[in-house]
Amino acid sequence: MKINCQDRERIFRDGTAEEWAALELHAATCAECGEELHAWKALSVAAEELRDYRPIPGLWRRIESSLQEQSEKERLRQRSWDWLKILRNIPVGWQAALAGAMVLALTVSGAYFLMHRTPTAPSAGNRLLKTDALKRVEEAESAYVLAIDKLAADAKPQVEDSASPLMVSYREKLMVLDSAIDDLRAQAGENPSNAHLRHQLLTMYQEKKETLTEVLETKR
Amino acid sequence: MGSVGLTWPWEHRISPVVHEGRSQLQLAERETGANPEDAALAAGCLAGDLRAYERLYEWQGARMKNLARNLLHSASDAEDAVQETFLKIQRSIGSFRRQSTFVTWTFRILVNTCYDLRRSRVRRKEQTQNDSEEMPKLPEPRAAVAHPSLRLALERALAQLTQHQRDVFLLYEVEGFRHMEIAGMLEISETASKNTLFQAKKNLRLVLEPPRSREAGGMR
């Protein structure tokens, strides 16, 4: 095979064994090609310096334990789906029949629950007041508050002036009630449609009204 | 033209018998790639036999770690990459279609794992760069080699290549894979692998050789 200097790079890139042999022969008589061939081979030899094939102590143990761990996880995952394999041994006809029976059972049970469902009244706590009802409640509440305030004004001299233990007790009770009413009003302000809060507020107002009534009756 | 003469210290080690620019040692390693044990190992791993994985490790573990180390420039990252590769082999052995040898398939997984690690390391570096200045990286200890200065020079020269050129050079010249195998690993054509290696070696010569021996052409 005859080659010349122009073939050199092509052979470096993708030469056959015969072409390499021919290049070696040519390089023996051509200084430039000899130089280039030598440098080209030198890179391959130099690359060996980047080989470090020493064994790595402990690495296989690490790999082995992680392989075992992964394998165990996979085995457990497989086992959880093993029961489905039973279905594979059942003939297709029976599989279809089984699926049909399950669908029928689901339909019948669903229909039964729908027909025998007892209407449940929404609990007071969860019931939300609609806009019209809320308006009426707020109107009634304002009137009630005004009436209680008037009652409180009547009872005020007796509650504040008297140092008797009974009156001190009433005074403390009224303070607690006022504090609870303030809290509930604040909560009701944030969530005005919550009927449960309104009920609690009403209970507090009623308690205050009864306490004030007791105070006034004590005077008599 | 007078002989420019490369003055590299490893010149005397260049084997007179080089085929296609490859040393006998590399050719011997290539042959091991076609080892009949390859198919037996694939079958063993597919059956979930841990001893097959151990045999694979004994056969290719050092080479895997060497490649990972050259790709990642870190011994500990390389060990992590090898471990992760074995786990990936175990997870995806069912998808091995025998379109390449088992070893080639294994190295393809390793190369991709190294790419993933490299990407995540770059991301980590970007995240920490804002917080603190990076500590200067010390060279990690490696096996004693005939020419430590040569290895260092080669590593520095390789760092100036493109990632693609570096990977092909490492796979072909250091690890001894054939272009066909590299093409499979890097998902490129065989011709692209040959061209990339050619360009990589030309660029390495530009970096490594004294300026007087450089001829036309810059790094591409």
A65-89: string of b/e by CB count within 10 Å (b at 16+)? eebeeebeeeeeeeeeeeeeeeeee
Show me where the domains of chain B are located.
23-129, 146-207
Question: Which pLDDT score, from 0 to 100, does residue B10 have?
Answer: 44
pLDDT mean over A108-124: 75
Phi, psi of B100 (to 5 degrees): -135, 180
Question: Which pLDDT score, from 0 to 100, does residue B71 have?
Answer: 93
**What's the mean pLDDT when you consider all of chain B?**
78
Phi, psi of B34 (to 5 degrees): -100, 20
Question: Which pLDDT score, from 0 to 100, does residue B84 have?
Answer: 96
Residues whose CB is less than 8 angstroms from the CB of residue B62 and which lie 6 or more positions away in sequence, other chains included: A53, A54, A55, A56
Interface of B with A in 87-146 (CB under 8 A): 87, 90-91, 142-143, 145-146
pLDDT mean over B102-130: 87
Q: Which residues of A touch B11 (CB under 8 A)?
A: 38, 42
Span of A33-47, A78-92, B14-28 with lowest mean pLDDT: B14-28
Question: Which pLDDT score, from 0 to 100, does residue B15 have?
Answer: 42
**pLDDT reading at A143 higher than 60:** yes
pLDDT category at A191 given cuts 50, 70, 90 is: confident
Residue A50 and residue B151 in contact, taking contact as beta carbons nearer than 8 Å: yes
Of the CA atoms within 13 Å of residue B218, those in its CB half-sphere come to 0
Find the CB nearest B20 among A20, A50, A63.
A20
From A66, A117, A107, A153, select the one nearest B84 (Cα to Cα). A66
Please state, in angstroms and rounded to a whole number, the distance separating the CA atoms of residues B190 and B62: 26
pLDDT digits (tens, 9 = 90+) for B66-98: 999 999 999 999 999 999 999 999 999 998 988
Please state, in angstroms and rounded to a whole number, the distance separating the CA atoms of residues A45 and B25: 10
Q: Which residues of B touch A35 (CB under 8 A)?
A: 1, 3-6, 213
Long-range Cβ contacts of B208-211 (<8 Å, 24+ apart): B208/A43, B208/A46, B208/B8, B208/B153, B208/B154, B208/B157, B209/A39, B209/B6, B210/B7
So what CATH class is B23-129? mainly alpha
Residue B80 and residue B161 in contact, taking contact as beta carbons nearer than 8 Å: no
Q: Give B19's strand partners.
A: B22
State the Rg of chain A over Cα.
Answer: 48
**pLDDT reading at B180 higher than 60:** yes
**pLDDT reading at A127 higher than 90:** no
Phi, psi of A194 (to 5 degrees): -80, 105
Please state, in angstroms and rounded to a whole number, the distance separating the CA atoms of residues B203 and B163: 13
pLDDT category at B163 given cuts 50, 70, 90 is: very high
Please state, in angstroms and rounded to a whole number, the distance separating the CA atoms of residues B117 and B110: 10
B146-207 carries CATH number 1.25.40.10: no
Span of A57-61, A100-104, B76-80, B208-212 with lowest mean pLDDT: B208-212
Residue matched to tokens 């050092």: B62
pLDDT higher at B144 or B153 = B153
Q: Name the interface residues of A facing B (CB cutoff 8 Å).
A: 9, 12-17, 20, 31-32, 34-35, 38-56, 59-60, 62-64, 66-68, 70-71
Residue A195 and residue A130 in contact, taking contact as beta carbons nearer than 8 Å: no
Residue matched to tokens 């130089």: A35
Residue A111 three-state SS: helix
Residues whose CB is less than 8 angstroms from the CB of residue A22 and which lie 6 or more positions away in sequence, other chains included: A1, A2, A3
Please state, in angstroms and rounded to a whole number, the distance separating the CA atoms of residues B217 and A194: 84
Q: Which residues of A touch B5 (CB under 8 A)?
A: 35
Structure tokens at B68: 């990972």
User: What is the DSSP secondary-structure string of chain B?
Assistant: --------TTGGG--S--BTTB-HHHHHHHHHHT-THHHHHHHHHHTT-HHHHHHHHHHHHHHHHHHHHHHHS-HHHHHHHHHHHHHHHHHHGGG--SSS-HHHHHHHHHHHHHHHHHHHHHHHHHHHHTTSPPPPPPPPP----S-HHHHHHHHHHHHTS-HHHHHHHIIIIIT---HHHHHHHHT--HHHHHHHHHHHHHHHHHHHS-GGG--S----
**pLDDT reading at A121 higher than 60:** no
CB contact under 8 A, A20 and B4: no
Question: Which pLDDT score, from 0 to 100, does residue B148 have?
Answer: 64
Structure tokens at B3: 């002989």
Question: Which pLDDT score, from 0 to 100, does residue B137 have?
Answer: 52
Closest residue in B to A53 (Cα–Cα) = B62
**What's the mean pLDDT when you consider all of chain A?**
84
Q: Which residues of B touch A44 (CB under 8 A)?
A: 18, 21-23, 26, 173
Nearest CA of chain B to the CA of A56: how many Å? 7
User: Would you say the CATH fold of B146-207 matches that of B23-129?
Assistant: no
Please state, in angstroms and rounded to a whole number, the distance separating the CA atoms of residues A130 and A139: 14
How far is it between the farthest Cα atoms of chain A? Answer: 139
**pLDDT reading at B195 higher than 90:** yes
pLDDT mean over B150-158: 86
Interface predicted TM-score (ipTM) of this complex, two decimals: 0.72
* ∠ Cα A129 A133 A135 (to 5°): 110
Cα pseudo-dihedral A199, A201, A203, A207, rounded to 10:
-170
